[in-house]
Amino acid sequence: MPLQDGLELLALLSMGHFLGDFGLQSDRMAAEKCRGQDATLPWQWWLTGHAAIHGLIVALLSGVPALGLAEWGAHTLIDYGKCQHRYRIGVDQSLHLLCKLLWVLLLSLWA
């Protein structure tokens, strides 16, 4: 993959991430995806649904469903760690963006 294409995909994946985390995530989902905060549905459903949105965004933007599945899993683990108070939002967001960089690097190796 040419460098310019990789940088453009990284920008799109980053924008997609912020759309998924701040535009498409409701206040209820943000709270109830954490264990002990779930009032309307079990927390696992909220977390799975939120992470699946991110997986879909990555799959659609990259054109690689396997990367969408990888994102789904990674996003679940990262958000679970944040819900367990292992780190705060700055580390959380940095880890998510590092995943996007990893997906672009993997795609450049496959190309």
Q: What is the mean pLDDT of the chain?
A: 97
Report pLDDT digits (tens) over 59-96.
Answer: 999 999 999 999 999 999 999 999 999 999 999 999 99
For residues 49-64, average pLDDT: 98
Q: Among candidates 102, 93, 94, 16, which has minimal Cα distance to 56? A: 16
What is the sign of the dihedral through the CA atoms of 21, 60, 78 and 96? negative
Domain assignments of the chain as residue spans, ordered by start: 3-110
What pTM value is reported for the model? 0.96
pLDDT of the residue at 1:
81
Cα dihedral across residues 109, 104, 107, 55: positive or negative: positive
